[in-house]
Structure 1
């Protein structure tokens, strides 16, 4: 009898043990199934150059960018692929250079307030310039892989049906409104992973419109730094103080986005890229091949990404798409010309493997032929080489870089009025408009604002030849047929 009891309790014990193990496995399985998916948020300022307080600028503060930098990895050599809005955003979303993807200038696109038809193949107004149909875009790939996608502020990409977003909202410069919109986007995403392209309008002109609505972000004109390529006059300081004030406003909007992700429990499982579409909204910056139009602030945060790291690696906006896809473990299309930054982000590499140079370009800001001035750029981290493909051509600056009416731009007039007191800055403007040398070479270590062209200096002959050769190879590999952009055939850059 005693033996039977022992056998009974032994069987009972092991039965309970087996059930507990099974229950534990099922519980573990449930945990895996309910684990939050990885998300992506791309925060894009509009026309903000490499101007943040953490990078040493004075007279204004970027507390959210600075704080975010300590939580992720900040890049000091990040460059847009092109210094104009539409081609830059299409470049980001294709991982390709504008001359390769076909979107080589600013285009007419729908407003985010427009109905769904305006973003479909039934759209009644579509710009003749846009990316080629065979190219897979980032929003297309993410939508196909079950992501909820959303965009704010403006669209500015062509053709619209190649950039499908699940939701759109025109919010553009109000921190409180960004909190509401991002909260709503997260709610609408449900159980799906999400991708938000959070466009923020400042510091794009009109500065006055932004500062009139949010005067608390205005800065003291006497405390700011005037870049050496612009004349240091009261009129210029007034304009620049509004630009820096707009940067403070944009930083607050970005901070509201990040704060909302934290409040909703999505921060730690989200890849966040915080940058700008291009550089400063000033002549010899935006819509030009010079560094001030391409150099941008750039921080990345996310799971398994280095924290508090500052990197000097050379990176380009064509790297954003492959970086996002590799982070999500999704295939990268063969058309992509950038490289994934993931090995740098997680600390496996100090620099992007196989990369000695980065490249950029300018073609035309808008459709007006007078705004067409094709240039190509190669940068090795110190020396910056520009090839102007039509050097003798006169150039009409885009309206927002020269007119006060509609754009509140005082910088152009301030430079013209400073002809006698600041002749160097005046001559830089006139050279920009009336014809530049075929080749330009600058030592960025000793000449940040590119004031001294070294292209004809004998001491720099070998460096010029090296960079010219690198540029020619890149142009050949990427099918750079400047005179007929519609017929460009794309090839992936050799790795």
Structure 2
């Protein structure tokens, strides 16, 4: 009898619970679950900063407490790479999530940015984000005549200025411009802000690092540069500008903390390409494309992680769109980092390779030609394919008899060409020193200034400075050929004109930067008809 009563009681309780649940559901059927708050995004990009020039990487001579804070609050990346070792193509690749050979004019330096390519900033804005930038956006190049009503990055916030510590540091008050941007957004409106520092791009105030109290003997000199006091002082000046850039980031982080926004803000800190020194910027070797990267998102991303996976900065566009809950973009090549950041990738590597490439950098050769090359980087090796090895990778030397032994110009008519090798930024004490004393370190000079073979292969673990080309070593032939075949296959799949028979189209694209007194075509802002493929007319 007791058992029977217990069963009846249980049945009554079950029905009562069901009734309560149904009633609750009916009462709240019109109430939807509130969506998670969309994250803010602070994207921070320096100008010409190579890995490992941040103090958390253990590099001496430079202190970056703000970068280090972001890294410790989230994920520090050891193997992040840009798509190109130059400013504007690298930034175009970041904005579109595509590689440079997929971007037509935007794949070369200081040309047009075709309006037909989607950028993640516009997608974010159209989905309800308040967007803006301070400092260097997509640049250099011409967006106005390509159909844009504003820079592809978004609206500009550059009204606030200050007195910088040296004459060569930009006078923009990056932090106050960020505050100005923030104060104009609506309450509870998510934001995307692009802080593009002009530092540490040349020029530098020579000796500014030493004058600021830096011990130049602590400057980290990579092995592809001479370990001389001239070079160490030059790097100290470079380090000083990195620190200035980092100080502005630190102010932004503290501001977000005070506003209660830090927890739900994704902060990404990186650079657009490598350091402006020989064998680095404008080269596909390691110090031209390997950049610092740290990402934090306290609300979602576990702190204190170190990631050794290969990362391409074209992966940022799909990442931003995914975390913002927006639509993706057509033709995107990058791969979202979201699973990696949220630690949901089951320890699978994010990538097994990254691809990089370069075309024209400056007007550094007769007829305004570039130096086409492509590369594939795995965790162990870097293979570079130099498509036109008859050209000078750093730009042509000055004309015969135009330069004296100390690197100065004898001929007035060649003054606009300067000391030559113009794909290496001027003015540069390191560059001038290496030209003047090239006979004292011929191997380093050859690597940074002379012509290169069609194939280059570097063992990154043993030679992260890319000073020993293994491409012709018999024991590395199999590795070289496998990487070369893989690179060509991937480039072909992605529609690279260099693989499809009309690669010279890159040399037809206009340049809007300085044009020099080299022989041949030198018309600023004009297409070079000699290199336009027949039947393929670009927007003019």
Unaligned runs of 5+ in 2: 1-23, 162-168, 397-417, 498-502, 510-531, 534-540
Residue from 235, 238, 245 that aligns with 1:240 = 235
Cα distance, 1:407 vs structure 2: 4.6
Question: How many residues are paired up?
Answer: 437
Q: Distance in 2 between matches of 1:315 and 1:170?
A: 35
Deviation of the 1:175 alpha carbon = 10
Q: Partners of 2:369 and 2:63 in 1: how far apart?
A: 34
Q: 1:326 aligns with which of 322, 325, 339?
A: 322
Aligned equivalents of 1:314, 1:181: Cα separation in 2: 33
- Indicate the residue corresponding to 1:134 in structure 2: 116
CA contact (8 A) 1:231 1:414 kept: no
- Mapped contact 1:402–1:409 kept (Cα < 8 A): no
**Distance in 2 of aligned mates of 1:401 and 1:444:** 30
For the residue of structure 1 that corresponds to 2:107, the secondary structure is: coil
| Aligned residue number for residue 202 of structure 1 | 199
Change (3 A) 1:38 1:231: same
2:444 to 420, 425, 437: 425
Compared CA separation, residues 194 and 400, structure 1 to 2 (3 A):
farther
1:474 matched to 2:474? The reply is no
Shift of 1:40: 0.9
1:178 Cα offset (Å): 2.8
Residue of structure 2 equivalent to 1:309: 305
Using structure 1 for the length normalisation, give the TM-score. 0.81
CA contact (8 A) 1:95 1:320 kept: yes
- The alignment's TM-score, normalised by the length of structure 2, stands at 0.74
1:390 and 2:388 matched = yes
C-alpha contact (below 8 Å) 1:239/1:410 kept by paired residues = yes
Report the equivalent of 2:184: 188
Deviations 1:99-132 (A, max 9, x none): 101212222xxxxxxxxxxxxxxxxxxx5x323x
Shift of the 354–449 alpha-carbon distance from structure 1 to 2, 3 Å rule, reads closer
1:402/1:412 contact within 8 Å kept? no
Aligned residue in 2 for 1:12:
none
Q: Give the drift of 1:353.
A: 6.0
Contact 2:160 2:176 in 1 (8 A): no
Distance 2:48 2:324 in 1: 28
Aligned-residue RMSD, C-alpha: 3.1
Question: d(CA) in 2 for partners of 1:203 and 1:457?
Answer: 37
Equivalent position of 2:504 in the other structure: 483
Give, in whole Å, the separation in 1 of the partners of 2:348 and 2:204.
Answer: 37
- In structure 2, the CA distance between the partners of 1:423 and 1:209, relative to structure 1 (3 Å rule), is closer
Question: Deviations along 1:68-112, whole A, 9 cap, x unmatched?
Answer: 2110101101000001101111110000111101212222xxxxx
Bigger helix fraction = 1
1:69 counterpart (68, 71, 81):
71
CA distance in 2, matches of 1:345, 1:324: 12
Work out which of the residue numbers 454, 462, 467 in structure 1 matches 2:470: 454
1:46 aligns with 2:47: yes
3-state SS of paired residue (2:487): helix
Q: Can you give the 5+ residue segments of structure 1 that lack an aligned partner in the other structure?
A: 1-20, 108-126, 489-495
Question: How far is 1:466 from its partner?
Answer: 1.4
Kindly state the Cα deviation for residue 198 of structure 1 after the two structures are TM-superposed.
Answer: 0.6
Alignment of 1:124-163 (within 5 A): 127=111, 129-131=112-114, 133-155=115-137, 156=139, 158-160=142-144, 161=148, 163=152
